[in-house]
Structure 1
Amino acid sequence: MSKTRNKFSPEVRDRAVRMVGEHRADYGSEWEAMTSIAAKIGCTAETLRRWCREEASRRTAPAAQAADDKARLKLLEREVKELRRANEILRKASAYFAMAEFDRRER
């Protein structure tokens, strides 16, 4: 088990991340906003940066997954279309050769 304990509650983390987003325009950079807000809540700027990145990845993960699913679906639909076309060609070729064999037996 880890010797460190979680010093900040999820509510404090969420509030700090929200504050960074809300007050970003008041500072020259996002890092300056994080440094200032981290000092106010009593954590390091790096900790707050990590919380912000984790929150951003939680928000974008479903969107990225949906985009991947759409691309995969499009690829699979294209493959199905190709396979159906190939099956139709094979079906017609089979019928053609069956008729040729039938005609040859009659003679």
Structure 2
Amino acid sequence: MSKIIDPEVKARAVRLVTEHSPEYPSLTAAVTAVAKQLGVGKESLRRWVIQAQVDTGERGGVTTNEQSEIKRLKAENRRLREDVAILRAATTFFAGELETRNR
């Protein structure tokens, strides 16, 4: 179960890793130190830092805005597919009704 982390805490943690990463031999070492200092999970912090790098263009990948747009479009696509399925079922039903009346 994931717990909700305050966005300000996330931003502060990412900023600390970004600012202090030159002091450490690797990004992992910087993330581990900051995570321990702030009491957050090191894997969570590592993912936040990577996503921040993607959002700023330092790293390739899907930005946060693009992810939210993809999620919205997938939900819309799912609703439209459900609507089409309902309309197909209704069309089949009414076509069957018309066919029996004509006989």
TM-score (norm 1): 0.50
2:44 aligned with 1:47, yes or no? yes
2:34 aligned residue (37, 40, 43): 37
The C-alpha deviation readout for 1:11-35, integer Å capped at 9, x for no partner, is: 1101110111110111111110000
Question: What residue ranges of structure 1 are gaps of 5+ in the alignment?
Answer: 65-107
Hey, what does 1:5 align to over in structure 2? 3
Hey, what does 2:88 align to over in structure 1? none
Q: More helix per residue: 1 or 2?
A: 1
1:60 aligned residue (53, 57, 62): 57
Amino acid of the residue matched to residue 59 of structure 1? T
**Count of aligned pairs between the two proteins:** 59
Amino acid of the residue matched to residue 50 of structure 2? R
- For residues 4 and 36 of structure 1, the distance between their equivalents in structure 2, rounded to whole angstroms, comes to 22
Amino acid of the residue matched to residue 56 of structure 2? R
Q: 1:51 Cα shift?
A: 0.3
Amino acid of the residue matched to residue 32 of structure 1? A
Question: What residue ranges of structure 2 are gaps of 5+ in the alignment?
Answer: 62-103
Amino acid of the residue matched to residue 54 of structure 2? S
- For residues 54 and 6 of structure 2, the distance between their equivalents in structure 1, rounded to whole angstroms, comes to 20
Q: 1:40 Cα shift?
A: 0.8
Hey, what does 1:70 align to over in structure 2? none
